[in-house]
Amino acid sequence: MSEAAVPSAHLVATADGAVLQLAGSWRTASLAAAESALAAIAWPSSLRVDASQVQALDSAGALLLATHLQRANIPASALDDAGLADGESRILEQVRSHLDAVTAGLRPQREGLLEHIGRSTLTIWLLIVGHLNFLGMTLAFLAQALVSPRRLRLRELTAQLEQVCLNAIPVVALVTLLIGVVFAYLLGLQAEQYGASIFVVDGVGIGTTREFGPIIVAIIVAGRSGAAFTAQLGSMRLNEETDAISTLGLSPMNVLVLPRVLALMVALPLLVFIGNVMALTGAMFVAGTMLEITPTTFLARLQDNLALKHVYVGLAKAPVFALFIAIIGCRMGMTVARDTRALGIATTSTVVQSIVSVILLDAAFAVLFQHLDI
């Protein structure tokens, strides 16, 4: 309370020995002042406390007093008969009964560098093993669904297809169109100097269909649908909906995971195809305005020089990317810890993991196709 007096403590020598006279308000609000008052005391070996002038005492104030007395090795009997009102002596009594447990050394544990590295490595290792396990489980359920297609939930599958494929078309189309424009423009700047403008068509053709199309679209989908999978499944788990599904005798793998994985594996190649077309359209536009290559020439050159295998390679990578994005997204959602902060962390982690895995997979594909001479 604002009008309360500043707490004070004075040591007075009397005929019966030293007396610690306390006055003022010993409440949480004035702890700092009380602390400095007590810090100034030169503690004798024994004393008696006179708190009859204390206006108010709460348990924080009582704790401060009791810890100082304890630190100065003053026996607890010093507080007997301190002249406190009934309520306040009960507060003091309660604090004193907890005193040992309260002041027991409870320093926070600090983590060493080595321990930190070890813990992080173990976390990543367990994450990868967990993902692989989940991948295996999903494939097992997929195999079952292929044997008896009745297990496949068509309604959920189509709903997911609408979400991850149809609704993703505008953003995929826009981004790939712009990538095509930028790619053709930069390539055109270089090729023009050597009078080799027409090779822009070859470069853009191979570049987008084989590498950029699949990668860019996969990254968009990882950020869009992968994160959505984690958020959806994670909040269902927090809400115990996934538990309810199992209790009803259904399998969350069948009801939730499989439709999402299948939908994404179908959707990504389709989106990559749309992305390829849009990127080439963008490039065609730049070629027409900047390099004076007419759309007719552009398309004729593309048909002559872009081997179809590049398009197939790009499209073949897409379902694999999709499988990994969906597996990571679903597993992160299904294993989210039951608190609200964990959901945010899991969603972020999904996006990071999916993008990293897409790029690693692409590098692996590059090496593989090199050795296969494709």
Partner 1 sequence: MNAAVAAPARSPAAQDRAPVIEIDNVVTRFGPQTVHDGVTFDVQRGTLVALIGGSGTGKSVLLREVIGLHRPTAGRIRLLGTDVWAATEEELNLTKRRFGMMFQDGALFSSLSVAQNVAVPLSEHAHVPGDLLQSLINLRLLQSGLTAEAGRKMPSELSGGMRKRAAIARALALEPEILFLDEPTSGLDPTTARAFDAMIRSLVDDLGITVFLVTHDLDTLLTVVDRIIVLAGGKVLTDGPPAEVVHYDDPWIRSYFAVRTMVS
Contacts with partner 1, residue ranges (CB under 8 A): 2, 27-29, 31-32, 35, 50, 52-56, 58-60, 63-64, 67, 81-87, 90-91, 93-95, 98, 101-104, 106, 108, 337-342
Contact 26, 34 (CB under 8 A): yes
Using CA atoms, how far residue 25 sits from 65, 89, 162, 237, 278, in Å, is: 13, 15, 67, 50, 75
8-state DSSP, 151 = G
Distance CA 46, CA 55 (A): 25
Q: Which is nearer to partner 1, 303 or 348 (CB)?
A: 348
Q: Which secondary-structure segment (H or E) carries 57?
A: strand 48-57
Q: Which is nearer to partner 1, 2 or 370 (CB)?
A: 2
Q: Which is nearer to partner 1, 93 or 243 (CB)?
A: 93
Query: Which residue, 300, 372, 287, 335, is CA-closest to 137?
Result: 335
Bridge-based pairing state of the strands 48-57 and 17-26? parallel
Total residue length of the chain: 374
In the bound complex, what is the minimum distance in angstroms from residue 131's beta carbon to partner 1? 22
Q: Which is nearer to partner 1, 84 or 206 (CB)?
A: 84
Q: Which is nearer to partner 1, 53 or 158 (CB)?
A: 53
DSSP helix, strand, coil percent of the chain (3-state; round to 5):
75, 5, 20
Q: Which is nearer to partner 1, 92 or 191 (CB)?
A: 92
In the bound complex, what is the minimum distance in angstroms from residue 42's beta carbon to partner 1? 19
Q: Which is nearer to partner 1, 235 or 297 (CB)?
A: 235
Query: Which residue, 230, 219, 228, 223, is CA-closest to 332?
Result: 230
8-state DSSP, 239 = T
In the bound complex, what is the minimum distance in angstroms from residue 339's beta carbon to partner 1? 4
3-state class of 233 per DSSP?
A: helix
294: left (phi over 0), alpha (psi -120 to 50) or beta: beta
Q: Which is nearer to partner 1, 15 or 308 (CB)?
A: 15
Q: Which is nearer to partner 1, 11 or 56 (CB)?
A: 56
Give the type of residue at 103.
Answer: T
**14 phi and psi, to 5 degrees?**
-125, 180
Give the type of residue at 106.
Answer: L
In the bound complex, what is the minimum distance in angstroms from residue 235's beta carbon to partner 1? 14
In the bound complex, what is the minimum distance in angstroms from residue 256's beta carbon to partner 1? 22
Contact 116, 81 (CB under 8 A): no
Instruction: Please return the burial class of 157, using the count of CB atoms within 10 Å of its CB with bins 0-12, 13-18 and 19+.
Output: middle
In the bound complex, what is the minimum distance in angstroms from residue 327's beta carbon to partner 1? 25
In the bound complex, what is the minimum distance in angstroms from residue 113's beta carbon to partner 1? 21
Distance CA 307, CA 206 (A): 8
In the bound complex, what is the minimum distance in angstroms from residue 366's beta carbon to partner 1? 41
Distance CA 194, CA 317 (A): 34
Q: Which is nearer to partner 1, 41 or 171 (CB)?
A: 41
Distance CA 165, CA 183 (A): 25
In the bound complex, what is the minimum distance in angstroms from residue 295's beta carbon to partner 1? 56
In the bound complex, what is the minimum distance in angstroms from residue 1's beta carbon to partner 1? 8
